[in-house]
Amino acid sequence: MIHLEIYKHRKVQALSADFSTFFPDLMLCLYYKPAAPHDHAKHAHLRHTKLANGTKDLLADCSSNGHEGLFVFDPTLSVKEFRAQLLIEFGLHAEVYQRVGKHEWSTFSASDDHILNEVPFKLH
């Protein structure tokens, strides 16, 4: 079993780095939480579709339910199951991307049936 620390004050990049420690060929990205219905700020309605990739972004900016704690999961989960568990337990909408080169990542998220601890291919 693997665990990730989900706390409001943690930075999104720290969580992504922890995830990559366990799965070096995968990258975890989180979306900002949806805007409140009464928020009339310009483009507020687009927040749930924008990835949180700023250096100062906190998990609190992404969690829709505010739950905190350890996220314990099995490394043999599929990407779809992992994302569903993360959403249910912590209100985090996530995408998982695969490495396509030594320093390059796919622009498309990993397929839903990809198993987290499966290495998709050998890099040269």
Query: What are the residue boundaries of the structural domains of the chain, listed by start?
Result: 2-109
Strands 2-6 and 69-73: antiparallel
> What b-and-e string marks burial along 9-44, b requiring 16 or more CB atoms within 10 Å of the CB?
ebbbeebbeebeeebebbbbbbbbbbeeeeeeeeee
SS3 82: helix
Query: What is the pTM (predicted TM-score) of this model?
Result: 0.85
Q: Are 59 and 71 in contact (CB under 8 A)?
A: no
Beta-carbon-side half-sphere exposure of residue 77 (alpha carbons within 13 Å) = 16
**pLDDT, block means (10 residues), the chain with 124 residues:** 94 95 94 72 61 87 91 94 95 92 86 85 51
